[in-house]
Amino acid sequence: MRKIICLSIISLGLIVSCKGKIDKNESVSDSLVVAELPKPVEVEEEIKAQIIYSDFDKVQKLANTKNDTVYITNYWATWCMPCVEEIPDFVDLREEYKDKKVKFIFVNVDEFEDVLSEVIPFVKKYKMQKVYQISLQELEKFQSFNPELTQAIPVTVIQKREEKEGLSGSFPKSVIADKIEGYLSKK
């Protein structure tokens, strides 16, 4: 019994030392200070992964240019199995098309509080380099340019100049490569 009382006192002392003092009306969980997630989060390691906080409209502006580049924007989340399964194909395609006028934009829709624990390790594992982070609710805006698209992910938008199409669901690498080639051949 003495050991339990001593451990309780030691634990309470540690909690108090983390915050300073505990108000009698405050629970222990209320007394813990949670640090805000810095924006943007940068990981300066061998691949220099970078998470850029954004919104749907800003991400769409990245691909809405008047040049000859084909933009492939992939919306995904770490909790979405079809998304996780197709990311290696997109990373491979990015490498295969690196010398052509093709740009890949990765947009993550995980909860913001999961960026450090889930998104950054995933980005590092697959060497994605740069990922834009938006709220899942922002995907309602898909319908503004394609009424057939929903908030369901994965979604891939392929576009060149004013011509674009949205693909709902996961597709084999060969299908995406064929789409890219089709857009590259358009003048």
Report the pLDDT value the prediction gives residue 147, as an integer from 0 to 100: 59
Inter-axis angle of helices 173-185 and 81-96, nearest 10: 50
Please choose, from the candidates 57, 54, 70, the residue with its C-alpha nearest in 3D space to the C-alpha of residue 144. 57
> Which is higher by pLDDT, 144 or 173?
173
Q: Which residues are bridge partners to 133 per DSSP?
A: 53, 108
Q: In the chain, pLDDT over 70 holds for what percent of residues?
A: 69
Q: Classify domain 41-185 at the CATH superfamily level.
A: Glutaredoxin (3.40.30.10)
Please choose, from the candidates 176, 177, 83, 166, the residue with its C-alpha nearest in 3D space to the C-alpha of residue 131. 83
- The one-character DSSP state at 117 is I
Question: What does pTM read for this prediction?
Answer: 0.72
Distance CA 84, CA 99 (A): 25
Contact present, 172 and 183 (Cβ < 8 Å): no
> Which is higher by pLDDT, 32 or 157?
157
Phi, then psi, of 77 in degrees rounded to 5: -150, 155
Per-residue pLDDT tens digits for 20-76: 332 333 322 222 222 334 454 454 444 455 888 888 888 888 888 788 999 999 999
Please choose, from the candidates 105, 136, 135, 115, the residue with its C-alpha nearest in 3D space to the C-alpha of residue 51. 115
Report the pLDDT value the prediction gives residue 54, as an integer from 0 to 100: 85
Is pLDDT of 94 > 70?
Answer: yes
